[in-house]
Amino acid sequence: MNDLTEFMLCGNLSVSNNGHLNFAGQDTAALASEYGTPLYLMDEERIRERCRTYTSAVRTAFSDKGRVLYASKAASFKRIYEIMREEGMGIDVVSCGEIRTAEKANFPLSNAYFHSNNKTDADIEYAIERGIGYFVVDNEEELFAIDRIAKE
The domain that holds 97 is classified in CATH as: 3.20.20.10
121-129 and 140-151 helices, crossing angle to 10°: 50
72 and 14 assigned to the same domain = no
**Statement: residue 3 has pLDDT above 60:** no
16 shares its domain with 75: no
The pLDDT of residue 51: 96
Q: Is the pLDDT of residue 28 over 70?
A: yes
Residues 57 and 115 in one domain: yes
If asked whether residues 49 and 104 sit together in one domain, one would say: yes
30 and 83: one domain? no
Same domain, 74 and 147: yes
Burial class (CB in 10 A: 0-12, 13-18, 19+), 87: middle
Query: Are 68 and 129 in the same domain?
Result: yes
54 closest CA partner among 88, 81, 102, 10:
88
With cut-offs at 50, 70 and 90, classify the pLDDT of residue 133: very high
Least confident of 5-9, 42-46, 130-134, 136-140: 5-9
| pTM for this entry | 0.85
Question: Structural domain of residue 27, as residue ranges?
Answer: 6-35
| 57 shares a domain with 103 | yes
What is residue 13's predicted lDDT score, i.e. its pLDDT? 86
- pLDDT tens digits for range 32-85: 999 999 999 999 999 999 999 999 999 999 998 999 999 999 999 999 999 999
Give me the helices (H) in the chain, please.
Answer: 28-35, 44-62, 78-86, 96-104, 121-129, 140-151
